[in-house]
Amino acid sequence: MAAAAPQLNKEQAKQLLDEAFAIIDTPDNRNTLKDAVLKAVDENPDDEMKQQFAKTQLLTPLVQGMVAPVYEKFGFNVQTSMMAIMQIQMHSMGDEDMTNKIKKLMMGLQGKFEVFENM
């Protein structure tokens, strides 16, 4: 049986979010993710639904790979990473900085990287 995901307090959730955000927001990583979005669009030029599916298929493992060391630092892995995200979202309620970062990360996973340009 798999071990239960660790529980984050608000400070840990904020630290995990800040560290993950800093990794994703590096120019090299943003370019890697943008290239994946362009590939998804190029491969499905006339079908927006297929583009979105392709973006998800390409971006999710890229982002997971980029932030895996941060998740591991807090006791999570690829299988439990969604539990970390849910806890971060819960702790972000009422915290404007955390809320903005989690929204930007979620938009980035959808291939909407213009949110990173206006930081």
User: Is residue 52 included in any domain, yes or no?
Assistant: yes
User: Is residue 22 included in any domain, yes or no?
Assistant: yes
User: Is residue 2 included in any domain, yes or no?
Assistant: no
pTM summary value: 0.84
User: Is residue 23 included in any domain, yes or no?
Assistant: yes
User: Is residue 1 included in any domain, yes or no?
Assistant: no
More confident residue, 58 or 109: 58
Domain that holds residue 74: 10-111
Q: Which residues of 35-68 are buried (b: 16+ CB within 10 A; e: fewer)?
A: ebbeebbeebeeeeeebeebbeebbeebbeebbb
Count structural domains, the chain. 1
Tens of pLDDT along 28-67?
Answer: 999 999 999 999 999 999 999 999 899 989 998 999 899 9
User: Is residue 4 included in any domain, yes or no?
Assistant: no
Residue that has been written with the tokens 């996973």 in this structure: 109
